[in-house]
Chain A
Amino acid sequence: MRRNKPEKFLNGSKLIMSLIAIDVLSHGAIALVYAGKLVLLTVGLNMIYSVLKFSNFSHAEWITWGMFSSWWGLQILTFVIPWDASMGFIINNLFIQATFAFIMVGILGLLSEILVFGRLRKLKANPRSFTVASIGIGLVIRNLLAMVWGDFPTPISPPKLPFGLENIIKISITFTYRHPILGTQSINLTSFKIIIIVISIITVLFIDYLFKNTKFGIAMRATSDSIDLAQVSGINTKRIIFYTWFIAAGITGFGAAIVRATQGRFGSTDGFSMLLPIFAVVILGGVGAFRGGIISAFIIAYSREIAAIILTEFQKKPGGLEYAIEDLLGFTISFSPGYMDGIGFVVLILVLLFRPQGIFGSVEATRARV
């Protein structure tokens, strides 16, 4: 398939034209929101990882259950309180739903500890058993949810913010700009998306403060270092562990509820599909480094977005990157959009190979020997 020189030149220049015309702002905004979602959903995993020292695969189902329970709360309220326009903001209130989800998922976390993980710890099982147990829990919850609710369509109407905040603060940012060369640059952030970003940062700062500056946080870290020593020092490790599960799960549920509000649909496999990118964020940032998690979420979100741009906007059109490389090297791999998710996995593998402690984590935690 030899293309003659003029054709190659044409393709190349078209490529560069399309490069310039990318809607950078829009993509940047999308990635920002995605980063916010990641942050919100990874704090809980990071907590469990750093305090209890195992990979909790049931985290995926915490997210799913968070989404479902927030919707469920809405259903109950709708049924119990007669619908009335003025009552709309109480019933379909985002924060009420999210709080309900917090409690529900927190209970799930507590139950997992009481029924499964606490017992495993007493048996002094090795970390792999904990991980496999969490996979089992995930399996059970995922299928229970499928049985009770199945996959769900759009809720009645998007939830509202409390106290009519959205009327007071016009926090929807929409912005479009057309430029002859630069093309269309636009941002479209609805209020929910902005809330996600804001709340995620607040949450991380809160947890970070909790860990570092409160007595509770110190107790958590002591328990994670050596549970026996902590007990002997007078720390009620059982209670600390319960709180850890409840808070970690609760935050995840809270975040999941907010994320759900921006999605039209949700289903029993939603959490599972997000699991690996979430692990990537935690490990890239460093286990136990919550603020580092913000940075790693940004890295993963933006690299995914960049991959998306390369794989979709540059693909297949005349001047597409795929053909450009083929012209250059004689062969290429295909640039299909499905690879977009693969970026997170590749990042994860590279980080584990070359810098397993992540950006901000400590090296000792990663060694193969105890």
Chain B
Amino acid sequence: MKNKINKFVNRIKGHTELILGLSLALPIILLYLFGLMVTPRKTYMVISTSLVILVFFVGAISLDLEVGSVGLPNFGKVAFFAIGAYTSTLLYNYFGVPFPVAVVIALIVSSGFGYLISIPAVKLRADYFAIMTIAGGEVIRLILQYEQRWLWDPTTNTQTIANLFTARVSTSHPFNKYLSDFGITIFKDLGLGTIFIWELTLLIVFIIISILVYLFVQQIRKSPYGRTLRAIREDDITVTSVGKDVGKFRWQVTTVSAFIAGIAGVMYATLFNSLDATNFTPGLTFQLYYLIIIGGLGNSKGAFAGTTLVTLFLRGTAVREVQNTIKFSLDSDTPIIGSILQILQLELDVNPFNLRFVILGSMLIAFLLFKPAGLIPEPRIDNEKYLKLLTPEERLRSDEAVGVRQSLTEKERIEVEKTEESVL
């Protein structure tokens, strides 16, 4: 009996990460569900949240590749979003370039900037590189915001650029219909609100893109290339000493990462009917950092977990009804502490809009202090994938030397464990 309890406890201990993840995830999911229940536009909320999660997931993967895999703290990521978004939109709007071509050109431009970033990366200390990228990102934003001659919308003469592609396609004939028009009336009947076909299509497209990006990056991570990247992250001097050109890996990573960020930028643009440069501030880059640090550096699953949790949290608290519910003031009229507050002349206006960032910031710091590897840490590598390549005899020989019983068949392993147990 005692044995069984011990085993159970051990099993739980082995899953501390899962438990931590759940204890964090559950309140957030509940909060989101609460928001969902309270808002009348349920389906819309679910779809828009999913869209945002997917966009930021792609962005997070891009940042994680740079920061988590090669260790380059690029704090100007938002600029690549902007480049992807603006290039594709401007080309489509004003030059009549068909949308797919505009996207391809946007990705090329974005990758080009990614290549440029690698040049100063060699010379600079990590946090100087960080500052330079922030400054660079802001310069790009300023140009997008103030370049009246070249980049402003000629019809409105403001820096807000109408996203004609989204506007046109989403209102074109097949897309401008509600899902319920096609006979799926469940949504309306259940009072879940309705959605346009366009949004659903967008969701499907985004899911496909995200999966492709995920697979693409996984392929990189699992290859010898990815292994060398990890080696560079840990000690690039040794990598140079065995004859590899670290600089080449670096610019390749920044270029690929910029390419992916460009994809995220285009996705981001299609979510809105207009582009406003004031959305592309360093705050967005910081948000990406929160995602990957909370989720887990160095692996895409972590990026997804982080993105999902943080976005659910932020979206759940953004719902108007939630905001109205969790809103109260502490001031001189409050019982007990009121008089103290009056002397101190303080008035606390607790509202979810600000409170959520206080919580988010605290979460970030808590993770940095107590779980820097994030919710889903980078998995510990084992040699399985290399040993798999050997013939069974070669493998057995090596395993014997190591003293490992991995090569036993399942049946033999149970036998051995049984005998061990009886000895205990």
Contact = CB atoms under 8 A, between A and B. Distances in A.
Interface of A: 54-55, 72, 75-76, 78-80, 116, 119-120, 123, 125-129, 131-133, 135-140, 142-144, 146-150, 276, 279-280, 283, 332-334, 336-339, 341-342, 345-346, 348-349, 352-353, 356, 365-369
A76 B342 CA distance: 9
B130 A128 contact: yes
Contacts of B212: none
Given A139-B357, A140-B362, A345-B139, A339 B128 contact: no
Interface string B121-159: 111111110111011101100110111111000000000
A148 B360 contact: no
10 contacts: A128-B67, A138-B361, A140-B365, A143-B355, A345-B136, A356-B123, A365-B125, A368-B121, A368-B122, A368-B123
Interface in B107-125: 120-125
B237 interface: yes
Contacts of A140: 357-358, 361-362, 365
Contact of B354 (A54, A132, A147, A276): A147
Main secondary structure of the interface of A (DSSP, over half): helix
B245 interface: no
A352 B364 contact: no
A147 B148 contact: no
Interface residues of B, number: 55
A111 B73 CA distance: 26
B23 to A, nearest CB: 20
Interface of B: 67, 73, 120-128, 130-132, 134-136, 138-139, 142-143, 145-150, 236-237, 286, 289-290, 293, 342-351, 354-355, 357-358, 360-362, 364-365, 368-369, 372
A116 B148 CA distance: 44
A333 B127 contact: no
Nearest to A332: B149
Nearest to A280: B135
A352 B131 contact: yes
A125 B149 CA distance: 47
Contacts of A138: 361
A342 B368 contact: no
B125 A276 contact: no
A136 B124 CA distance: 24
B142 A72 contact: no
A80 B372 contact: no
Contacts of B138: 276, 342, 345
A79 B150 CA distance: 55
Contacts of B351: 147
A352 B357 contact: no
B289 A132 contact: yes
A119 B370 CA distance: 10
Contact of B358 (A144, A334, A369): A144
Contacts of A333: 147, 149-150
B365 A136 contact: yes
Contacts of A146: 354
B132 A348 contact: yes
Contacts of A116: 365, 368-369
B132 A55 contact: no
A345 B135 contact: yes
A346 B135 CA distance: 7
Among A55, A80, A150, A283: residue with most chain B CB under 10 A: A55
A316 to B, nearest CB: 10
Contact of A341 (B126, B142, B289): B142
A123 B286 CA distance: 23
A133 B364 CA distance: 7
B343 A342 contact: no
B139 A346 contact: yes
Nearest to A138: B361
Given A136-B362, A140-B365, A338-B145, 10 more contacts: A131-B73, A133-B365, A133-B369, A140-B357, A148-B349, A333-B149, A337-B146, A339-B142, A349-B132, A368-B123
Contacts of A338: 142, 145-146
A280 B135 CA distance: 9
A75 B342 CA distance: 10
B362 A352 contact: no
Contacts of B128: 283, 352, 356, 366
Nearest to A132: B289
Given A79-B345, A132-B293, A148-B348, A283 B131 contact: yes
Contacts of B354: 143-144, 146-147
B281 to A, nearest CB: 9
A131 B125 contact: no
CB-CB nearest 6 A-B residue pairs: A338-B146, A140-B361, A139-B361, A136-B364, A143-B354, A334-B149
A279 B142 contact: no
B362 A348 contact: no
B126 A334 contact: no
A144 B123 CA distance: 38
B358 A143 contact: yes
A34 B351 CA distance: 35
A135 B286 contact: yes
Contacts of B237: 369
Given A139-B357, A147-B350, A338-B142, A129 B372 contact: yes
Nearest to B134: A276
